[in-house]
Structure 1
Amino acid sequence: MSRLHLFDMDGTLIRGSAAAVEISRQLGLEREIGELERAFAAGELTPPRFAALACELWQDLTEEKIDAAFGNAPWLEGIREVWSEIRARGERCAVISLSPSFFVERLLDWGADAAHGSRWPAVPFRDPVDPAGILDAAAKVRITDGLCAAYGLTRADCVAYGDSMSDARLFAAVPVSVAVNADHHVRDIAVHAYAGNDLREAFALVDAD
């Protein structure tokens, strides 16, 4: 039986941080992004509004700054090894994140079969954010269905890995889920729960089924 492994990024593959935080750190805007992150977590900002405000903050963003943010992010250990093992078994792995696609898609070089993020304007920003391109929690399920169709699989063949409320809908839609360093929104509904710094250990919980 083939499987599709679906990974959230912020808070899951990146432990205790997010793409927006790491990008803002490179620009010296940690306080400002912290305020936006708190408002978003409290439900005061929609994903498109968060993206629009972050885009305004990041007027000095360059590809070099994105590379630095990606390279310095606190990634879990063992990501490439897990994805290599998944693919060696003839299974698939994908990343679905609300974060900008220009950050998420860098994970293709680490061995992900697919990487989906929100569509932002090209860097350096000259155009406004298009709300239609910004993903939300429901989009994770929709993208999963598209990947399943492309790979000849169904939701029954999926395993989801996530950490927060944005993953709850996907956890409810697939039979196997792993809460990774998660809050109660998904930890309480997940099949498995993992706290630690190594994706290989989280993957082993699924492998033991």
Structure 2
Amino acid sequence: MVRLIAFDLEGTLVKSVSSWVELHKRFGTWDTGREYADLFFSGKIDYARWAELDASLWRGHTKEEIMEWADSVGYMDGARELIEFLRENDFRMAILSSGLMCLAGRIAKELGVDYVFANELIFDENGVVTGKVNPAVDFEGKGKILRGLKEELKPELTVAVGDGYNDISMFREADVSIAINPHEGVEGDHNVESLWEVKEIIQGLLEEGGR
């Protein structure tokens, strides 16, 4: 018996909004980064090109600098307790983030999450940003990734938890979608304000199904 839950990361499990934006602000590249975002959202460039343009602005910065930021990001209230509850109830857990693996990998390791998908900056042999990126999770890609996990695991229940437009595709693949403090225009089957409420909803689902 397998259950599956997929989480967005930033704004859902941790207290950062966007690793891309926060690194732009940290490195003083946000003005140009905002121009690149406008190009993407107006349909003038695709996601892979957007990611590479962003990463190119950080060329020469080090992995150490980036991890200093990633290690400073704190958890949303109730995150660890929710993950422990899910583990006790036979859930396989995945993080699907269109943010950066430097943060997603750290959180997945600390929480003991089974799967982690995120975009990966490429570093050279000295740990310096090359300006290249592996765009593993594009803006519409979370649904496809979740569908692949469902095909692999064949879960009896699939839950998705997120807050933004790029989570809508995984909401469509889930049996139950939960939007936490959702952005305007984003709705799940349940809309909540905290991870404690997410835990309550899942408890209810398990009790309902006699699971």
TM-score, normalization: structure 1? 0.81
Closer/same/farther in 2, CA of residues 184 and 126 from structure 1, 3 Å limit: closer
Whole-Å separation in 2 of the counterparts to 1:36 and 1:98: 16
From the two aligned structures, give the one with the greater strand fraction.
2
Q: Please say if 1:126 is aligned against 2:130.
A: yes
- CA offset digits 1:143-182 (Å, max 9, x no partner): 22332344x324x621001112211111112110011111
Give 5+ residue unaligned stretches, structure 2. Answer: 206-211
Closer/same/farther in 2, CA of residues 159 and 62 from structure 1, 3 Å limit: same
Match of 1:206 in 2: 202
What are the residue-to-residue correspondences of 1:30-179 with 2, within 5 Å? 30-37=30-37, 40-41=40-41, 43=43, 45-73=45-73, 75-111=75-111, 112-122=113-123, 123-126=127-130, 128-129=132-133, 133-150=135-152, 152-154=153-155, 157-179=157-179
Whole-Å separation in 1 of the counterparts to 2:203 and 2:35: 39
Whole-Å separation in 1 of the counterparts to 2:42 and 2:11: 16
Closer/same/farther in 2, CA of residues 65 and 81 from structure 1, 3 Å limit: farther
Closer/same/farther in 2, CA of residues 36 and 79 from structure 1, 3 Å limit: farther
From the two aligned structures, give the one with the greater helix fraction.
1
CA contact (8 A) 2:8 2:95 kept: yes
Bigger radius of gyration: 2
Give 5+ residue unaligned stretches, structure 1. Answer: none
Whole-Å separation in 1 of the counterparts to 2:74 and 2:62: 20
What's the CA shift for 1:192? 0.6
- Between the two proteins, the alignment pairs up a number of residues equal to 201
Deviates more, 1:49-58 or 1:96-105: 96-105
Q: Which amino acid aligns with 1:120?
A: L
Q: Please say if 1:194 is aligned against 2:192.
A: yes
What's the CA shift for 1:34? 4.1
Deviates more, 1:159-168 or 1:114-123: 114-123
Closer/same/farther in 2, CA of residues 201 and 110 from structure 1, 3 Å limit: farther
Runs of 4 or more, structure 1, over 6 Å off, are: none
CA contact (8 A) 1:9 1:18 kept: no
Whole-Å separation in 2 of the counterparts to 1:128 and 1:63: 13
TM-score, normalization: structure 2? 0.80
Q: Which amino acid aligns with 2:192?
A: Y
Q: Secondary structure, in 3 states, of the residue corresponding to 1:49?
A: helix
Whole-Å separation in 2 of the counterparts to 1:37 and 1:138: 15
Q: Which amino acid aligns with 1:10?
A: E
**How large is the Cα RMSD of the aligned pairs?**
2.6
Whole-Å separation in 1 of the counterparts to 2:166 and 2:178: 14
What's the CA shift for 1:72? 2.8
Q: Secondary structure, in 3 states, of the residue corresponding to 1:182?
A: coil
Q: Secondary structure, in 3 states, of the residue corresponding to 2:191?
A: strand
Whole-Å separation in 2 of the counterparts to 1:45 and 1:15: 29
Q: Please say if 1:182 is aligned against 2:185.
A: no
